[in-house]
Amino acid sequence: MLIFINLIEFLLLFGVILITFFAEAINPVRVTRVISNLSLLIIIYALNQCDLTYISPLSFLFIALTCFLLSECALSINENSPFLKPLCVSLLLIGIFLIGCFIVEDLLLFYIFFEAILIPMYILVGIWGSRERKIRAVYLLFFYTLVSSLFFLIGILYLFYLFNTTNIEWLTYFCNIYLTKTEMYSLWLLFFFFICIENSYVSFTYMVT
């Protein structure tokens, strides 16, 4: 299964390189559509193999959803839109970072991939946002993300300080044995605040209005 996932990551990265360096000679929209549709076909083929070795079914489900949404977004691109090159590159980068979030087994790498998604998102919202307040939306997105990420990063650094690792499997094992209830509740609150602020209804309401 990881072979198919790595192939999708390679295709997306190849698309980014191709559009970045050869945008004048090719149509970036068509390249994005071909690569995203190929990724969707690969994930459908992988699903037919029914081999989820080395990857959890939930992670595979989210990867399949990412490929499907990436394909739909690529099909919805208007070829007459301005700045097609950064638009297509940003879309493919979001796909790369999202799939990276779902396959890593290291908490710190998950944090890096998750935060990296925000860079192309800022570009997409700031340039192609449909409302007049899109610049304000970018600032709010940055603010809420920065605040919530600090809670998550503090929790990761604390776990690394205690156990000298950020591997999720090892952390699960060590936390169940060595952490006190107070430490576990404190870490739970840090991660809970991260999720709540990142996905809060209030932040979403402010960004879209």
E strands in 14-111: none
Q: Which domain holds residue 140?
A: 130-209
Of the candidate ranges 27-36, 48-57, 104-113, the one whose mean pLDDT is the lowest: 48-57
Residues 17 and 84 in one domain: yes
Q: How many residues does the chain have?
A: 209
Domain end call among 103, 118, 153: 103
Residues 28 and 85 in one domain: yes
Residues 9 and 99 in one domain: yes
Distance of CA 90 to the CA centre of its chain: 12
Q: Tell whether pTM > 0.85.
A: no
Instruction: Give the CA angle between residues 175, 103, 60 to the nearest 5°.
Output: 110
Mean pLDDT of all residues belonging to the chain: 80
pLDDT of 54: 62
Residues 149 and 84 in one domain: no
Give the integer Cα–Cα distance in Å for 159 and 174: 10
Instruction: Give the CA angle between residues 85, 11, 167 to the nearest 5°.
Output: 110
pLDDT greater than 70 at residue 49: no
Residue 109 lies in a domain: no
pLDDT greater than 60 at residue 209: no
Residues 11 and 94 in one domain: yes
Residue 202 lies in a domain: yes
Residues 91 and 135 in one domain: no
Residues 162 and 201 in one domain: yes
Residues 76 and 173 in one domain: no
Query: What's the structural domain count of the chain?
Result: 2
pLDDT greater than 60 at residue 70: yes
Give the integer Cα–Cα distance in Å for 38 and 55: 21
pLDDT greater than 60 at residue 53: no
Residues 135 and 64 in one domain: no
E strands in 58-123: none
Residues 74 and 137 in one domain: no
Residues 99 and 141 in one domain: no
pLDDT band at 144 (very low <50, low <70, confident <90, very high): confident
E strands in the chain: none
Residues 10 and 85 in one domain: yes
